[in-house]
Structure 1
């Protein structure tokens, strides 16, 4: 057998083996990894590379090696879940860099971080002055978590006492011109509804690259031809406009009538409609 065919065969075998091992180890191995998982990953890759290139002639020995390392990694993860002390040994502990707005120099030295490196980590969090920080901690993954001082924190809708509608996950109902029926069911919509909405937009199914149903049950569409503008859903803004017009009409009727009974009726209903509009504004503001 030619050598290049043997190397290709070994490569395919170890790609499958490493894929299987990664599945067993879980998503953590490819996201935020601990020190042990970092070392384990490098070792597994090195063993695979040596066997593929025939530096280690025995395929079985290579497979045994990487699966032993995989088993040990799973075991360490299991023990880390069960024991906090073991987790701190295997994954490390978080280190406080800034507390009560003061930089802890000793902790920086302990983790071998310079002030320039700390400033770089802060800038990645859109913080350009350490005096704006109330608390900052270096996580075991190497990421810096930052809590800004109260006066430097972004203003939220809750701070302004503004109510807003809760958001749900958008359901992708069309992808590459194909209807995804499971997502359509999850959005509680029918095929007839979908085709009707597409007809309103003058869009054919085959020309739809992506279509989603949002939290309000509205269909948003992206088509293949980027030069064509697809109209955005107008149901909520139109409903809001209609309600405000009704409120204005009731107030106008109250001013025009000479009957005190009718005037009171118009004013009362205008106030009730205003209250409804106020409650529905977060949902109908488009």
Structure 2
């Protein structure tokens, strides 16, 4: 078998495995169940054997991949419909800690030592077993933990506070490129973005990454991390506020469907633009 044969077979199976993984879904590239683990190893073994063995026909390897993939696909489908079958194939939860006490039988069943349990707890930032009220080991090896009430962090609900829902932060600049779709979702426009960056003493071409949070505030990470974002003096801040007001009035005029209201917003946006042009030379001195 020549090097080109190996390259040819490798490329074929990379494509096939990629397609199979896309079909089977994200579940098969996250934490694996026992059955998924076996299937994954087998698929890799078949692909490797066909790639390196000149005696095995490519179609035989593809057939083997398709059979194992079909079995995995249909097992996922059947386990969605049948809880008992799901427990047989994927396994059941195992309680490790209950009422603040370690259950030795649960550890023995899963062949976990106390050191293993401590390691799993440390992964969750828990260093004292006595802080845990309840813990169970999921079929895919993940430990789910409920802390005792006194060790749980306070929430706004505990304090009787009504908090607004958090919105997804929008990444508006990535790798130095403006993400216009995210900018639109955030309810901002390009003029607003430029104004906010000016308030931070930087420009779009200097920004590596920038996000708008729930409250409409912009945070930016520059390409050259050693450059600190300077504090702006009052005149620069005033200019930035004027630009921002003009941009927001312009945006509101585009968003409203009422012609009279749109006219008012547009008129005031023009006035703010005129003010900006007049006083900008003085504020930049």
Q: TM-score range by the shorter chain?
A: 0.7 to 0.9
Q: Structure 1 residue 73 and structure 2 residue 72: aligned?
A: yes
1:49: which partner in 2? 48
How far off is 1:219 after superposition?
A: 2.0
Instruction: For 1:232 and 1:147, locate their aligned partners in 2 and report how far apart those are by CA, in whole Å.
Output: 44
1:213: which partner in 2? 212
Instruction: For 2:98 and 2:220, locate their aligned partners in 1 and report how far apart those are by CA, in whole Å.
Output: 48
How far off is 1:232 after superposition?
A: 8.5
Whether the aligned pair in 1 keeps the contact of 2:201 and 2:230 (CA below 8 Å) is no
Superposed CA RMSD: 2.1
2:267: which partner in 1? none
1:228: which partner in 2? 227
1:120: which partner in 2? 119
How far off is 1:25 after superposition?
A: 0.7
SS in 1 for 2:136: strand
Output the TM-score relative to the length of structure 1.
0.76
1:49/1:153 Cα in 2 relative to 1: closer, same or farther (>3 Å)?
same
1:25: which partner in 2? 24
1:35: which partner in 2? 34
Whether the aligned pair in 2 keeps the contact of 1:171 and 1:183 (CA below 8 Å) is yes
2:13: which partner in 1? 14
Whether the aligned pair in 2 keeps the contact of 1:221 and 1:230 (CA below 8 Å) is no
SS in 2 for 1:229: coil
Instruction: For 2:222 and 2:193, locate their aligned partners in 1 and report how far apart those are by CA, in whole Å.
Output: 15
1:125/1:194 Cα in 2 relative to 1: closer, same or farther (>3 Å)?
closer
Q: Structure 1 residue 177 and structure 2 residue 173: aligned?
A: no
How far off is 1:118 after superposition?
A: 2.1
* Stretch of structure 1 that moved more, 64-73 or 116-125: 116-125
Q: Number of residues paired by the alignment?
A: 233
Instruction: For 1:7 and 1:207, locate their aligned partners in 2 and report how far apart those are by CA, in whole Å.
Output: 45
How far off is 1:163 after superposition?
A: 4.2
SS in 2 for 1:141: coil
Instruction: For 2:111 and 2:151, locate their aligned partners in 1 and report how far apart those are by CA, in whole Å.
Output: 29
Output the TM-score relative to the length of structure 2.
0.76
Deviations 1:230-282 (A, max 9, x none): 2699xxxx9xxxxxxxxxxxxxxxxxxxxxxxxxxxxxxxxxxxxxxxxxxxx
Unaligned residue ranges in structure 2 (runs of 5+): 238-285
1:249: which partner in 2? none
Instruction: For 1:231 and 1:160, locate their aligned partners in 2 and report how far apart those are by CA, in whole Å.
Output: 37
Q: Structure 1 residue 104 and structure 2 residue 103: aligned?
A: yes
